[in-house]
Structure 1
Amino acid sequence: MTDFIDSFEDEDPFDSAGLRLTVDLTALTENWKDMARRSAKARAAAVVKADAYGTGIEDSGEALYMAGARDFFVATVDEGVTLRPYAPDARIFVLSGIWPGTERRLFENDLVPVISSEEQLAFWMAVLAEYGDYPCALNVDTGFNRLGLSMDEAIALADDVSRPASFAPVLVMSHLACSDDHSSEMNRQQLESFRQVSAAYEGIDSSLAASAGIFLGSDYHFDLTRPGIALYGGESVNDMVNPMRPVVSAEARIIQVRTVKEGESVGYGRATRLTRDSRLAIVSAGYADGYLRSQSSAGVPLRQTVPRGGQGFVAGRKVPVAGRISMDLTIFDVTDLPENAVRAGDYVELFGKNVLVDDVARSAGTIGYEILTSIGLRHERRYLHEED
């Protein structure tokens, strides 16, 4: 019995996984270098929040650090703590800022809080009074109406001669609301507002542009840009050919191929009725894995406005989703493939180089950001490096 078990020890779990996720770290770092070039005189940071957009903050963060990134943005202190060993001397900015109870982990891991409200600012001042000098960043709302000190609050703070000397922000930043639409007047309005803020904090780094803002041009770059979705291969600007390299590929194993007669139904709610004898491939992925139910071919509200549902890729062809996507399973119609082209055990690409993540998003009525950050926990991961 022991010899039998030992014979399996060298098998790669990726080769037999029901769900596989391949992350091309070379494409990731090339995308960062591309955004760094587009940022021109500004430095390019790397946004790695939400587990590096679903790609894995440890591996992706380390790859970006090795490529030259020295400024990172995360959403939470926990994310910053996870990233720190992989970006040892980088500046790591925590976008959610600081809250009571997070001080120790923030300081021990040399994380920089982004202060976004008067309440956070008051607490930060109290922390400085107890712990002494420590860097922070200031987030200023220039029209987004999401997070940030108001313009008046930020400029008054810059001019406040009574503020303690230990209060020493190293970055002032804001966020564009409409940078994915280059024709929007909002971009120019926010730029002019941010210029006022930047001038009030002369000598301190300024940052306005995330991925889409970088494509708006040098006026928006200031000292530091913050590329996020573009690093992971996603579209960031509407109505523009995406220049970024695909980074992530998700595949699901075919569990069964079955033949179904014309007139029969497929899946929950009998949402799809077959108009011909069909062959269906059932794969081991569903909405629990981030393959959103709204991509179903029928039986969901979105199909009333976006006629076509999701597609996979197998045996050199795109194949449509059939019926409703369920929690753990999705059905693809492979009737148009040669009869022996697919069999149980083969893999269908859910998104990747052949089915772009943003095309998947459009069929689901959402954006590539949501597809990537919804990747579930059941994927076996493989990271590709240039030497691979």
Structure 2
Amino acid sequence: MTLAARLPTSERMGTGHLHINLGAIVENWRALDRLSAGETAAVVKADGYGMGSARVARALAAAGVRRFFVAVAEEGASLRATLGPDVEINVFSGHMAGDTRRLSDLGLIPMLNSPEQIARHTAELPDHPFGLQLDTGMNRLGLETYDWSTDLAAGATLILSHLACADDPDHPANAAQLAAFLDMTAGIPIPRSLAATGGTLLGPDYHFDLTRPGVGLYGGAPFADAQPVATLDLPIIQTRRLRAGESVGYGCTFTAEKDTVIATVSGGYADGLIRAMSGRGTLYAGDTPCPIAGRVSMDLISVDVTDLDAIPDHLTILGPHQTVDQLADACGTIGYEILTGLGARYARTYS
């Protein structure tokens, strides 16, 4: 137990405040749509990359999006309840055992990934729309070359594949996958899609009939021109002074080298602020950076605010001075992980 003298604390709600700019998401979609040679869909899986799929999808539909992609049929069901019957909803995981009634009743289009899925779909929903996903080198989902025949494309609404290295424009895998996709789909009069956000930025050779941006809609790399979408403020619960030599948090991994002011903020790995931020992440008080001191715990983060002239009621971890990718880079991960992990405890507002 520290002998620190405690500083005054402020009164504020105990949860963080996550503000999501729907207008920025729409503008990011419009910007990517302007780059696209054909139609531009929207990927809203993982609860709209953590931003709230219902609110995000309604905003995008109002802006003109008519094709959406989700990871699994359960997400498709929620999206159909939100958007109604007038949009197309595609399911990347295809036709899984147990999906049949949901696909049929809700008009969801599975992207079939394997001979087994094709057989299941043909047997259980012979007249229901479907797409096909091809594996062009990522070795994750999709029909491989030895399973593929152009005869399988008969009746498909879309043929797609996914680039493994599109965030690195110079990676040779991009050209190799493009060549494989062209070879596998040659002569097939079915709409094709290869590009997500990164592929869209690679240029029109990768666009085909449909692009399907995901992370770029939400302000993430590799879309450098994206408008930021998320602002996250964490309230300060308590502040205290540490004497030189005193430690903070689990494992005593931060020890003050001098008299230090520590602010404890509400938020932690239960809220998607991962342990990898421990001793590496930064929060902001206005323009002033405030480093994380010690380990991120489940509900709390200790922050060094010694350099502040006055203690604010909150610190900002996502905002004008730190994008989601800058925060991710600081702790050795990617913006996708930060975005999709943002938890349910935050008080959310939208504009």
TM-score strictly above 0.5: yes
The 8 Å contact of residues 53 and 372 in structure 1, kept in 2 or not, is answered as yes
2:179 pairs with 1:192 = yes
Cα distance, 1:70 vs. partner? 0.7
Cα distance, 1:86 vs. partner? 3.2
Q: Of residues 297, 320, 323 in structure 1, which corresponds to 2:291?
A: 320
Q: Which amino acid aligns with 1:135?
A: P
* TM-score for the superposition, normalised by structure 2: 0.93
Separation in 2 of the partners of 1:100 and 1:356?
40
Cα distance, 1:85 vs. partner? 3.3
* TM-score for the superposition, normalised by structure 1: 0.85
Separation in 1 of the partners of 2:136 and 2:170?
18
Cα distance, 1:17 vs. partner? 5.0
Residues 203-226 of structure 1: per-residue CA shift (max 9 Å, x gap): x11000010111110000000001
The 5-angstrom pairing of residues 80-91 of structure 1 reads 80-88=76-84, 89-91=86-88
Long gaps (5+) in structure 2? 1-11
Q: Which residue in the other structure is 1:3 paired with?
A: none
Long gaps (5+) in structure 1? 1-14, 298-308
Separation in 1 of the partners of 2:286 and 2:209?
47
Q: Which residue in the other structure is 1:28 paired with?
A: 25
The 5-angstrom pairing of residues 1-388 of structure 1 reads 16-39=13-36, 41-88=37-84, 89-128=86-125, 132-154=126-148, 156=149, 158-159=150-151, 168-202=155-189, 204-236=190-222, 242-297=224-279, 309-338=280-309, 341-343=310-312, 346-384=313-351
SS for the counterpart of 1:190 is helix
Cα distance, 1:127 vs. partner? 1.3
> Which stretches of structure 1, 4 residues or more, deviate above 3 A after TM superposition?
none
SS for the counterpart of 1:362 is helix
Q: How has the CA–CA distance of structure 1 residues 159 and 77 changed in structure 2, closer, same or farther, with 3 Å as cutoff? A: closer
RMSD (Å) for aligned C-alpha atoms: 1.5
Cα distance, 1:352 vs. partner? 2.5
The 8 Å contact of residues 134 and 168 in structure 1, kept in 2 or not, is answered as no
Q: Relative contact order (alpha carbons < 8 A, sep ≥ 6): 1 or 2 greater?
A: 2
Q: Which amino acid aligns with 2:281?
A: G
The 8 Å contact of residues 315 and 342 in structure 1, kept in 2 or not, is answered as no
Separation in 1 of the partners of 2:31 and 2:106?
29
The 8 Å contact of residues 42 and 225 in structure 1, kept in 2 or not, is answered as yes
The 8 Å contact of residues 14 and 266 in structure 2, kept in 1 or not, is answered as no
Cα distance, 1:342 vs. partner? 1.5
Q: Which residue in the other structure is 1:6 paired with?
A: none
Q: Which amino acid aligns with 1:219?
A: D
Separation in 2 of the partners of 1:207 and 1:17?
45
Separation in 2 of the partners of 1:311 and 1:286?
13
Cα distance, 1:373 vs. partner? 0.6
Cα distance, 1:260 vs. partner? 1.0
Q: Which amino acid aligns with 2:201?
A: F
Count of residue pairs the alignment pairs up: 339
